[in-house]
Chains A and B, each alone.
Chain A
Amino acid sequence: NAGVTQTPKFQVLKTGQSMTLQCAQDMNHNSMYWYRQDPGMGLRLIYYSASEGTTDKGEVPNGYNVSRLNKREFSLRLESAAPSQTSVYFCATQQNPTSGANVLTFGAGSRLTVL
């Protein structure tokens, strides 16, 4: 049981390059999230997907796009990377909130450096 799998774990980009971070889950959770973690800032929500076929902006969506490909997969794309996007990115999933189990399960993170 893999849980939440993020790829790649590490990536170095040059300014202006594009890339996609992949997230896949095998827990049959409905909701999926992308956060970025920066020192002293905690985790900030970039985008989330309440269910398959829907996506919504979080606190810091600028410079990112997302795709909820199916129930299992939620990708985050940087179209033109900037040094300010250097961060650790976490994907998380959430059970159906109506079950009362409003808990996030996190992937191991993807460390991105933009030069």
Chain B
Amino acid sequence: AQSVTQPDIHITVSEGASLELRCNYSYGATPYLFWYVQSPGQGLQLLLKYFSGDTLVQGIKGFEAEFKRSQSSFNLRKPSVHWSDAAEYFCAVGAQATSYDKVIFGPGTSLSVIP
């Protein structure tokens, strides 16, 4: 069964600083990987996804993530954080496209941004 860990429960960064949120996964086959963001009181919105091909994927709001198979990681990065990026971030792993298997989420990382 797949699983996801996000080692950092909470991160605080200054506005304009760079950001990296860590994600490690466990899955027996080629995974589909996702990052979702949840603003306070809102549902989850997809930031980016990795299915295959280029291991560096670009998403919305200036975010990118890199898939490293050897490290079973899919870390999220942003070069310059904005105050509006303060939110909860979830990494998730899903099965291959031919399966209706479930999507499993990590515990989330809460991001605070200092003006």
Contact = CB atoms under 8 A, between A and B. Distances in A.
B107 A108 contact: no
A115 interface: no
Interface stretch (A13-21, A45-53, A77-85): A45-53
Given A99-B97, A102-B94, A103-B46, A43 B102 contact: no
B100 A43 contact: no
B51 A43 contact: no
A41 interface: yes
A41 B43 contact: no
Contacts, number: 69
Contacts of B90: 42-43
A23 to B, nearest CB: 12
Interface string A32-43: 010100001111
A4 B94 CA distance: 20
A97 B102 CA distance: 11
Interface in B1-39: 4, 6, 9, 32, 34, 36
Contact of A102 (B6, B45, B51, B105): B51
B97 A109 contact: no
Contacts of B97: 97-100, 102
B104 A51 contact: no
A104 B14 CA distance: 31
B95 A102 contact: yes
A86 to B, nearest CB: 17
A8 interface: no
Contacts of B6: 42
A58 to B, nearest CB: 6
6 contacts: A33-B103, A103-B49, A104-B44, A104-B46, A104-B92, A106-B45
Interface of B: 4, 6, 9, 32, 34, 36, 42-46, 49, 51, 90, 92, 94-100, 102-108
Given A98-B97, A104-B92, 20 more contacts: A30-B100, A31-B100, A33-B103, A41-B107, A42-B90, A45-B104, A48-B102, A59-B104, A97-B96, A98-B98, A102-B32, A102-B97, A102-B103, A103-B34, A104-B34, A104-B36, A104-B44, A104-B103, A106-B36, A108-B43
